[in-house]
């Protein structure tokens, strides 16, 4: 009887333990559901995809992974003509790759027309231009609108990206000249820029590298590796970065497969902690990299850059950047015109240039950063670019100011605290580009028709 009583008491104890575990699970799950709803404004079990893919990460799950590279830490490769290109190989965006030339495209370059019915559009610029070309290939917004024109209605529109993250003038000009020299054909050129021209000119100036040189943010880490000048601290930081990336990949896979809210909440906090550590190690690496760069100024680097010493003051710096922007775009237009290529130039929107857009508190958390290196450059540089638009127009450039086009959207339009757009932002931007181009082409077609009619009247 005594043993039976102990057995019975043991059963009761286990029941109490199990009931408490169950209640604990229920309370944790309910708390996690509340946390998820407060943060994302939707119910966890019926949740929609929080955000679209950004330019580097597979899925950010509503977590800001800006600047976190889950693949190669250094995806750029030094290039003898362009400064740098992307490492050839597959890209996470389905159906795309970085081709042998180092640009993201379904095609290898130079791309040769397979028939006379093809119409080739080359896209030039930085990461915003690169993202635009991908969005256009996937959604065919420009392609469909071009086909509304009588002369293009039966054409096969081919979009080729010659854009890369970090590119700024004169890289677009140099890339265009090179590919024309090796036989690349174009029927139209779209140049999307502005942000990199002022943001990276500012960074180059601070690094004492001439503002016409490629972005110091992109090429200096490559040259430090080439010079074998990374310190022991930098190498240790790089090892920690690689370890963080491995842990992040596993955590994000777990996050994607979470079926319960408490799993998502705990894993999300873990991911945020990993991201914080990753960014701290990146800062350490960058700090040590800058030390190595200054050391190379005395010892001499095997890669030569024109120097900017002493640093330019702000008025001269951004004045030069704006003048370079005008000169290089005008040269691109002249080269395009001499080769019977239509040329269109777009000044991209950026959140750090004040417009009438009203940001929600949630979007502000994504779109702005207190420690961004870009805000001052955009605030000081963009007004000068806008003042130069009339110069470009007088030089025959089809230039369009897109800085205000996102103002009226009620959706999130910025995906990070740099310059990139959500799917809603990409749609607005792509529509603006397509409508602007078709408007010019339609106007030109009408002018030709009117002139032909006048000629016919005179002949009669």
DSSP string, 345-367: EEE---TTS--S----HHHHHHH
Decide if 238 is inside a domain.
no
| pLDDT (average), residues 368-391 | 94
Decide if 35 is inside a domain.
yes
Total number of domains constituting the chain: 2
CB neighbour burial string for 372-401, b if at least 16 within 10 angstroms, e if fewer? eebbebbebbbebbeebbebbeeeebbbbe
Decide if 244 is inside a domain.
no
Give the structural domain span for 20. Answer: 2-46
Do both 120 and 213 map to the same domain? yes
Q: How many Cβ atoms from other residues are within 10 Å of residue 429's Cβ?
A: 24
pLDDT at 4: 54
H helical segments located in 107-170: 127-139, 141-146
Predicted TM-score (pTM) of the model is 0.76
Please state, for a pLDDT cut of 70, what percent of the chain lies above it: 73
DSSP state, 147? T
Decide if 285 is inside a domain.
no
Do both 22 and 154 map to the same domain? no
H helical segments located in 68-126: none
Do both 13 and 129 map to the same domain? no
Which tokens is 63 given?
């977590």
pLDDT, tens digit (0-9, with 9 covering 90-100), for 188-201: 999 999 999 999 99
What residue ranges in 109-209 does DSSP mark as E strands? Answer: 118-125, 156-161, 188-193
pLDDT, tens digit (0-9, with 9 covering 90-100), for 67-87: 565 555 567 888 999 999 988
Contacts for 314 with CB less than 8 Å, ≥ 6 apart: 380
Closest CA to 422 of 381, 367, 357, 359: 367
Do both 122 and 34 map to the same domain? no
Cα–Cα distance measured from residue 81 to residue 53, given in angstroms and rounded to the nearest whole number: 31
Decide if 256 is inside a domain.
no
Asked if 195 and 301 count as a contact pair (C-beta separation under 8 A), the reply is no
Do both 154 and 37 map to the same domain? no
Do both 105 and 201 map to the same domain? yes
Cα–Cα distance measured from residue 357 to residue 355, given in angstroms and rounded to the nearest whole number: 6
DSSP state, 313? P
pLDDT at 26: 65
Burial of 67 (0-12, 13-18, 19+ CB in 10 A): middle
Do both 139 and 32 map to the same domain? no
Do both 112 and 40 map to the same domain? no
Cα–Cα distance measured from residue 234 to residue 288, given in angstroms and rounded to the nearest whole number: 6
pLDDT at 379 over 50: yes
Which tokens is 159 given?
């979009």
pLDDT at 406 over 90: yes
pLDDT at 55: 38
Which tokens is 112 given?
């040769």
pLDDT at 387 over 70: yes
pLDDT at 56: 41
Q: 149 or 35: which carries more pLDDT confidence?
A: 149
Do both 180 and 310 map to the same domain? yes
- Sign of torsion, CA 97 83 213 374? positive
Decide if 74 is inside a domain.
no
Decide if 246 is inside a domain.
no
Asked if 422 and 131 count as a contact pair (C-beta separation under 8 A), the reply is no
Asked if 238 and 73 count as a contact pair (C-beta separation under 8 A), the reply is yes
Cα–Cα distance measured from residue 442 to residue 448, given in angstroms and rounded to the nearest whole number: 10
pLDDT, tens digit (0-9, with 9 covering 90-100), for 5-31: 655 566 676 777 776 666 666 676 676
| CATH code for position 342 | 3.40.50.1110
Do both 413 and 357 map to the same domain? yes
Do both 123 and 30 map to the same domain? no
Cα–Cα distance measured from residue 166 to residue 84, given in angstroms and rounded to the nearest whole number: 9
pLDDT at 180: 98
Do both 21 and 134 map to the same domain? no
Decide if 70 is inside a domain.
no
Which secondary-structure segment (H or E) carries 78? strand 76-79
Of 311-320, 336-345, 448-457, the range with the lowest mean pLDDT is 448-457
Q: 55 or 26: which carries more pLDDT confidence?
A: 26
């Amino acid at each position: 009887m005594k043993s039976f009583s102990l057995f019975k008491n043991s059963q009761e104890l286990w029941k109490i333990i199990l009931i408490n575990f169950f209640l604990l699970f229920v309370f944790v799950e309910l708390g996690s559901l509340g946390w998820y709803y407060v943060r994302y404004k939707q119910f966890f079990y019926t949740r929609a995809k929080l955000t679209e893919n950004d330019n580097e990460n597979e899925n950010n799950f509503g977590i800001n992974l800006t600047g976190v590279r889950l693949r190669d830490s250094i995806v750029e490769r030094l290039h003898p003509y362009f400064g740098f290109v992307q490492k050839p190989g597959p890209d996470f965006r389905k159906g795309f790759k970085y081709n042998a030339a180092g640009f993201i495209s379904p095609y290898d370059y130079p791309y040769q027309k397979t028939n006379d019915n093809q119409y080739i559009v080359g896209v030039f610029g930085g990461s915003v231009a690169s993202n635009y070309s991908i969005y256009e290939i996937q959604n065919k917004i420009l392609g469909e609108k071009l086909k509304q024109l009588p002369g293009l209605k039966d054409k096969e529109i081919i979009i080729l990206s010659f854009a890369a993250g970090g590119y700024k003038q004169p890289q677009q000009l140099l890339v265009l000249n090179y590919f024309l020299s090796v036989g690349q054909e174009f029927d139209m050129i779209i140049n999307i820029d502005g942000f990199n021209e002022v943001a990276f000119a500012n960074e180059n100036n601070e690094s004492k590298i001439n503002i016409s040189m490629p972005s110091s943010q992109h090429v200096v880490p490559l040259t430090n590796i080439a010079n074998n000048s990374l310190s022991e601290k930098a190498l240790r930081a790089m090892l920690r970065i690689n370890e963080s990336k491995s842990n992040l990949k596993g955590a994000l896979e777990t996050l994607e497969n979470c079926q319960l809210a408490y799993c998502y909440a705990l894993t999300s906090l873990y991911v945020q902690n990993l991201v914080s550590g990753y960014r701290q190690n990146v800062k350490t690496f960058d700090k040590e990299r800058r030390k190595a760069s200054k050391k190379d100024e005395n010892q001499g680097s095997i890669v030569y850059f024109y120097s900017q010493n002493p640093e330019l003051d702000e008025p001269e710096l951004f004045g030069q950047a704006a003048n370079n922007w005008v000169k290089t775009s005008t040269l691109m237009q002249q080269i395009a015109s001499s080769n019977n290529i239509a040329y269109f130039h777009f000044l991209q929107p950026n959140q750090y240039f004040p417009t009438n857009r009203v940001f929600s508190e949630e979007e502000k958390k994504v779109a702005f950063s207190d420690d961004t290196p870009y805000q001052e450059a955009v605030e000081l540089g963009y007004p000068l670019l806008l003042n130069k638009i009339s110069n470009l127009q007088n030089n025959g450039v089809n230039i369009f100011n897109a800085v205000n086009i996102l103002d009226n959207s009620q959706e999130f339009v910025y995906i990070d605290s740099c310059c990139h757009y959500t799917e809603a932002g990409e749609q607005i931007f792509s529509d603006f580009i397509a409508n602007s181009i078709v408007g010019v082409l339609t106007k030109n077609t009408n002018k030709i028709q009117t002139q032909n009619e006048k000629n016919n009247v005179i002949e009669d």
